[in-house]
Amino acid sequence: MFSGTASPPCPSVLSTSTKDPFWRRVRKGVAPAFSQSNIQAASESSIAMAYRLADTLAAHGPAAPNAAFDVIGVFGFGKDFKATMDLHGEGAQACKCLARGMEIAVKSKLRPDTNIPFTPAWYEYRDTQTRLLSIFRNLMKEVLARGQPEAGDQTIAAFLRRIRAEDGAPLPELRFWSELSIFFFAGASARYYISQHPQVEAQLLEELRDLELMCGGAGKPRKLTPTDVQRLAYLHCVIKKKLCGSS
For residues 228 and 154, state if they share a domain. Answer: no
Q: What angle is formed at CA 181 by the lines to CA 25 and CA 151, rounded to 5 degrees?
A: 55
Q: Which tens digit of pLDDT belongs to each residue from 146-198?
A: 999 998 899 999 999 999 988 999 998 888 988 988 888 776 666 667 777 88
For residues 229 and 179, state if they share a domain. Answer: no
For residues 186 and 229, state if they share a domain. Answer: no
Q: Write out the residue range of the structural domain in which residue 36 sits.
A: 23-196
For residues 168 and 216, state if they share a domain. Answer: no
For residues 98 and 111, state if they share a domain. Answer: yes
Predicted TM-score of the model (pTM): 0.76
For residues 166 and 72, state if they share a domain. Answer: yes
Overall number of domains in the chain = 2
Chain-centroid distance of CA 43 in Å reads 16
Return all residues near 151 (Cβ < 8 A) that are at least 6 apart. none
| C-alpha span between 172 and 161 (Å, rounded) | 10
Low-confidence stretches of the chain (pLDDT < 70) are 1-10, 60-67, 109-114, 187-192, 215-219, 242-247
For residues 79 and 154, state if they share a domain. Answer: yes
For residues 36 and 114, state if they share a domain. Answer: yes
